[in-house]
Amino acid sequence: MQKYLMGIDRGTTNVKAGLYHLDGTEAAVSGQACEEVKSPRTGYAEQNMERIWQDTARAIRGLWDHGFRPEEVIGVGLSGQGGGMFLVDESGVPVREGIVSLDSRVACEAEKWKQEGLHREFLELWKDGNSTLPQALLYWMKEKEPDQYRKCKWMLQCKDWIRYRLTGSIRYEITDASNGFLIDKAYAYQLGVLDEYGISEARELFPELIKPWDLAGTVTEVAARDTGLLPGTPVCGGGHDVAMAAFGSGCVYKDQLSCVLGTWGLNLLLIEHPHPMMEHYGKIILSAVPDMYLFMNGGSTGSSLEWFMDRFCEEEKSEAEERGVSVYEVVEERILEGENASRSSVICHPYTEPLLMMPGYENAQAGFYGMTARTTKGQLLRAVLEGIAIETALFLEVSRNAADRLDAIYLTGGGASNRLLAQMIADAARVKVRIMDIRESGCRGAALTAGIAVGVFRDHAEAGSLPIRIREEFVPDESGGAKYIEEKMKKSKRIAKAMEEIWNH
Give the pLDDT confidence of 248-285 residue by residue, as tens digits: 999 999 989 998 887 677 889 999 987 766 666 778 89
Give the pLDDT confidence score for residue 340 in this predicted structure: 56
Give the pLDDT confidence score for residue 98 in this predicted structure: 97
Give the pLDDT confidence score for residue 80 in this predicted structure: 95
- pTM, whole model, 2 decimals? 0.89
Other CB atoms within a 10 A radius of the CB of residue 288 amount to 34
Which residue type does 328 have? Y
CB 212 within 8 A of CB 245: no
Between CA 355 and CA 349 the distance in angstroms is 11
Helices (H), 197-276: 221-227, 241-248
Nearest-Å Rg of the Cα atoms of the chain is 23
Give the pLDDT confidence score for residue 39 in this predicted structure: 92
Which residue type does 348 have? C
CB 84 within 8 A of CB 98: yes
**Helix, coil or strand: residue 81:** coil
3-state secondary structure 123-161: HHHCCCCCCCCHHHHHHHHHHHCHHHHHHCCEEECHHHH
Give the pLDDT confidence score for residue 274 in this predicted structure: 79
**Helix, coil or strand: residue 469:** coil
Between CA 476 and CA 485 the distance in angstroms is 11
Give the pLDDT confidence score for residue 91 in this predicted structure: 96
Residues of the chain with pLDDT under 50: none
Give the pLDDT confidence score for residue 140 in this predicted structure: 96
Give the pLDDT confidence score for residue 128 in this predicted structure: 67
Which residue type does 217 have? G
CB 452 within 8 A of CB 465: no
* Fold of the domain built from segment(s) 4-239: Nucleotidyltransferase; domain 5 (3.30.420)
Give the pLDDT confidence of 46-59 residue by residue, as tens digits: 999 999 999 999 99
CB 295 within 8 A of CB 282: yes
Q: Give start-end residues of each CATH 3.30.420.40 domain in the chain.
A: 4-239, 250-437+475-505
Helices (H) and strands (E) in the chain, counts: 18, 22
CB 303 within 8 A of CB 264: yes
Write the CB contacts of 128 (distance below 8 Å, at least 6 apart in sequence).
none
What is the pairing mode between strands 209-210 and 172-173?
parallel
Classify residue 230 by its DSSP letter.
P
Give the pLDDT confidence score for residue 276 in this predicted structure: 65
Give the pLDDT confidence score for residue 266 in this predicted structure: 84
**Helix, coil or strand: residue 25:** coil
**Helix, coil or strand: residue 495:** helix
Q: What string of DSSP letters covers 260-298?
A: EESSSEEEEEEESS--GGGGGTSEEEE-SSTT-EEEEEE
Partnered with residue 411 across adjacent β-strands are 259, 435
H-run or E-run covering 89 = none
CATH code, residues 250-437+475-505: 3.30.420.40
Write the CB contacts of 129 (distance below 8 Å, at least 6 apart in sequence).
107, 110
Distances (CA, A) of 405 to 188, 401, 464, 497: 31, 9, 19, 29
Choose among 431, 442, 440: nearest CA to 473.
Answer: 431
